[in-house]
Amino acid sequence: MKRLRPAVIGICLTVIWLGWGPPSHSPDGLTGATYARSVPLFPGALLEAVEGQQFYDEPAGPLRFVATSWSFAVSGPMTGVTDFYRNRLPIPPTEHDDGSLVWRWTPPGAANGEAVVVRVGLGRVRIDEVVRALSRT
């Protein structure tokens, strides 16, 4: 039996840190959210992954924006999921070629470049937010 290499262990720890693991019914499925906290979760949505990204103006420059994505598995007809969000989000969605519906808006009080995006596809809901690094709470 081979021993795990340190790199493999590091990758496993990173995956756990990103929030991948057992699905969660947590009502605070948007842990760490700033503006996305106001987005309602479809009933029964299971948190599958949390991913993050950082944006800089230049390689060694200061951190400008932080993006976070929460991915959820949902069950039931897609029309039920899309109707749920149509009735609860502040703007109408746009339809993409893959059949998904996407809502993108700048929340009240948000700075230029900050946004919330909700994407509903077959069996999936993804909620993204981009916030200025200094705005992050």
Residue, of 48 and 9, whose pLDDT is higher: 48
Kind and range of the H or E run holding 120: strand 115-121
Question: What's the order of all strands across the beta sheet hosting 101-105?
Answer: 46-56, 63-73, 124-132, 115-121, 101-105, 94-95
CA-to-CA distance for 119 and 74, rounded, in angstroms? 12
Query: What is the percent of the chain where pLDDT is above 90?
Result: 66
* pLDDT one-digit tens code per residue, 33-92: 999 999 999 999 999 999 999 988 888 888 999 999 999 999 989 999 999 999 999 999
Band (pLDDT 50/70/90 cuts) for residue 123 is: very high
What pLDDT is attached to residue 135?
52
Give φ, ψ of 117 to 5 degrees: -130, 130
